[in-house]
Amino acid sequence: MSIFYETNEPPYVLESHFSEFIEAFLFENFGASFHAEEVLTGIDNQVFETELSVAKPDEELLRVRQCFYEDFKPLYDLLSLYDHYWGTRYSTFRSLKLANPDYRHDYVLSMTANELHMNTKDRIEMIELMEDIEEEDKIELIRLAEVAPTTLELHNLLKETVWESTFFEEYIQPDMMLNVAKYFKQIDGLMEMCQNEPADQEALKVLASELRRLYMQLTHCFVVLGMEIE
């Protein structure tokens, strides 16, 4: 039975986000902690921890961090390209002078749907058909289109990275691995919905949003740990 029915949640609502697992690793595996507290008045005097600190690594902690970095840095580099491509594509589209609102709507839907598993040739053909766009913007978009992975490719790569990861094999507790497996089951369900005709736009938005969340959380994790992200 699908996990969607097991959890009684709509298919677009995920039980968890992979970015949350990354955040958990930061505190449970990599030596990060909060060390200052702030009392916020007017909110039942709740105490919030506000400042993040990272322990100076001993040999074992350094090995754990490096293991994670080596496993996830290749995925991170592709997420960076994906994020740059989508950001450039979106900002370029907003600058287009498309008078017909219906055309604008159709353009957004087709652009989003096709990016699930579009190949490079089709991507570039779509960009070349764009009108009212600066030539330098078009050149940059084509450059990114040639190297940026698709939404489907990145979700599949994330799954491969996890199941082949030395870090996961050595350090992740069984209960978290169960939650990770549930997460991928939900993601697989969303990808199936996106490959219908027509593609499910809401499902695709969730998939794209998950990649954005993951990219931002990995960036934060690597920066906090003082690791190279360029």
pLDDT at 41 over 70: no
- Report how far residue 201's alpha carbon sits from residue 194's, in angstroms, rounded to the nearest whole number: 7
Ranges of each domain in the chain: 3-224
**Amino acid 111: pLDDT:** 63
pLDDT bin (cut points 50, 70, 90) of residue 74 is very high
% residues pLDDT > 90 (the chain): 44
β-pair type (32-34, 52-54): antiparallel
Closest CA to 154 of 86, 202, 104, 102: 86
- Report how far residue 163's alpha carbon sits from residue 142's, in angstroms, rounded to the nearest whole number: 33
pLDDT at 25 over 90: yes
**Amino acid 4: pLDDT:** 36
pLDDT at 3 over 50: no
- Report how far residue 4's alpha carbon sits from residue 212's, in angstroms, rounded to the nearest whole number: 23
* Token reading at 65: 């961090």
Closest CA to 93 of 129, 121, 118: 129
**Amino acid 97: pLDDT:** 53
211-220 per-position pLDDT tens digit: 999 999 999 9
Angstrom distances, CA of residue 119 to CA of 67, 115, 150, 212, 220: 32, 8, 8, 21, 30
**Amino acid 7: pLDDT:** 47
Average pLDDT over residues 93-119: 62
What's this model's pTM, rounded to 2 decimal places? 0.82
Q: What's the mean pLDDT when you consider all of the chain?
A: 82
Q: Element (H or E) spanning 174, and its range?
A: helix 174-194
**Amino acid 109: pLDDT:** 59
